């Protein structure tokens, strides 16, 4: 039998049994659509989380802290030793100060991170409004969104506002007593500063350059950002720092853990979707079995006029594969339609609550192709059993069948 004849006979169910065929394809589409919807939700949540916590440079940065178990500190000499390590291209230290900011009648205690502007680039801190400060403009600072809210500002209205800032620190006063080397004094420095930008953060936190208070000389740092050359240099540098007694953390560890969790989540969501696909596949097997019974006499006639056994086998395989393919295409469309409806609802909810709209769905193109191929294979498999029965059927028995 010619290929065009096989295709013509295999697709005639759209004309002779249009409703039943359409319902069978719809059942397959619902199962595929469920998989597309759920897996796209998993990919979207993963992408949304990683976009919030990572930048390309932050993934190649190490957070170095003094260890609690080993007496080591991060000072200027330690920073120089970090910079001298192979494949280290940048080291940015940061110190912590206790501060108090006053705006009108509102006074708040905040923790200040004193560091260079490059710290934000290596930390992956997101700017919600305004701009990052520059070292040549020491009179400007960054504040967290929580601190801005405490002062009654939004992410945009906080820009350019003035804060009367007091920084508290410890100073050294040498004395002549032979029994002591130095005496510790509590000191404070005050200055009016301007808010340059608002960054993400739930705590009462602010950031400014060391040039803001030149009278405060930092001799020890609470942490340092170490930027390595590439991913191959990451672990060697990390091992050297850890062996030196420092506590080393990396944002990439958090990303790896998040990816592992979302991979499991995607598998779980895919299993739920596959359950719906199995139900629809069973319905497709039932449809193909009924089709075989209805065409038994036709099979006998085609065999009598010269059609081969393999022609009968391929007749059912092609028909079921076509329905599986159309079910996959329809499933992708149903999945996308569900995403559009949910996204539209979330946008309306976000606008009513004053939040920003987000896209919680992400569907990779390779996944779309894989789903359509998978549904076609499922359809192909459901046609094997009735195809084998048609191939083994005796022409005389088929002609006598009623």
Judge if pTM exceeds 0.95. Answer: no
Compute the distance between CA of residue 59 and CA of residue 254 in angstroms, rounded to an integer: 10
DSSP state of 228: E
The pair phi, psi for residue 101, each rounded to 5°, is -110, 135
* Amino acid 5: pLDDT: 61
The pair phi, psi for residue 172, each rounded to 5°, is -110, 135
Compute the distance between CA of residue 16 and CA of residue 165 in angstroms, rounded to an integer: 82
**CB contact at 8 A, 162 and 194:** yes
* Amino acid 144: pLDDT: 92
- The radius of gyration computed from the CA coordinates of the chain, to the nearest angstrom, equals 34
Q: What is the mean pLDDT of each run of 10 residues along the chain (402 residues)?
A: 64 73 84 85 77 64 80 85 89 91 89 88 84 81 91 90 87 52 66 90 88 81 88 83 85 70 77 76 80 76 78 82 89 91 83 72 87 88 84 74 62
* Amino acid 364: pLDDT: 86
* Amino acid 6: pLDDT: 63
* Amino acid 178: pLDDT: 47
What does the domain layout of the chain look like in residue ranges? 3-53+257-400, 73-244
Residue 338's Cβ-side half-sphere holds a number of Cα atoms within 13 Å equal to 22
């Amino acid at each position: 039998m010619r290929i065009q004849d096989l295709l013509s006979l295999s697709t005639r169910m759209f004309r002779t049994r249009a409703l039943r065929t359409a319902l069978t394809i719809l059942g397959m589409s619902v199962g595929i659509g469920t998989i597309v919807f759920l897996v796209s939700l998993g990919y979207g949540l993963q992408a949304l989380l990683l976009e919030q916590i990572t930048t390309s440079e932050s993934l190649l940065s190490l957070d170095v802290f003094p260890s609690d178990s080993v007496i080591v500190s991060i000072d200027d000499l330690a920073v120089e030793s970090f910079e001298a390590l192979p494949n280290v291209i940048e080291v940015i230290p940061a110190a912590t100060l206790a501060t108090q900011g006053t705006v009108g009648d509102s006074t708040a205690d905040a923790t200040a991170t004193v560091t260079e502007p490059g710290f934000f680039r290596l930390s992956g801190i997101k700017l919600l409004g305004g701009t990052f400060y520059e070292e040549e403009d020491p009179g400007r600072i960054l504040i967290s969104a929580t601190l801005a809210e405490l002062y009654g500002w939004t992410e945009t209205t906080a820009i350019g506002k003035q804060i009367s800032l007091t920084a508290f620190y410890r100073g050294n006063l040498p004395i002549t007593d032979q029994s002591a080397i130095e005496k510790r004094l509590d000191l404070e420095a005050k200055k009016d500063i301007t808010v340059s930008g608002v960054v993400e953060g739930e705590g009462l936190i602010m950031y400014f350059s060391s040039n803001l208070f030149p009278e405060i000389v930092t001799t020890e740092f609470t942490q340092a950002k170490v930027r390595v050359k590439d991913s191959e240099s990451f672990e060697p540098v990390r091992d050297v720092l850890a062996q030196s007694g420092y506590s080393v953390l990396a944002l990439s560890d958090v990303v790896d853990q998040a990816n592992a969790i979302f991979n499991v989540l995607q598998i779980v969501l895919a299993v739920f979707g596959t359950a719906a696909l199995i139900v629809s596949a069973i319905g497709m097997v039932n449809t193909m079995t009924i089709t075989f019974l209805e065409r038994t006499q036709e099979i006998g006639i085609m065999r009598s006029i010269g059609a081969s056994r393999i022609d009968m086998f391929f007749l059912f395989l092609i028909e079921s594969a076509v329905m599986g393919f159309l079910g996959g295409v329809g499933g992708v469309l149903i999945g996308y339609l569900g995403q559009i409806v949910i996204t539209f609802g979330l946008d309306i909810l976000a606008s009513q609550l004053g939040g920003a709209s987000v896209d919680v769905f992400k569907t990779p193109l390779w996944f779309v192709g894989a789903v359509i191929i998978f549904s076609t294979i499922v359809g192909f498999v459901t046609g094997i059993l009735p195809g084998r029965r048609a191939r083994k059927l005796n022409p005389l028995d088929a002609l006598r069948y009623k």
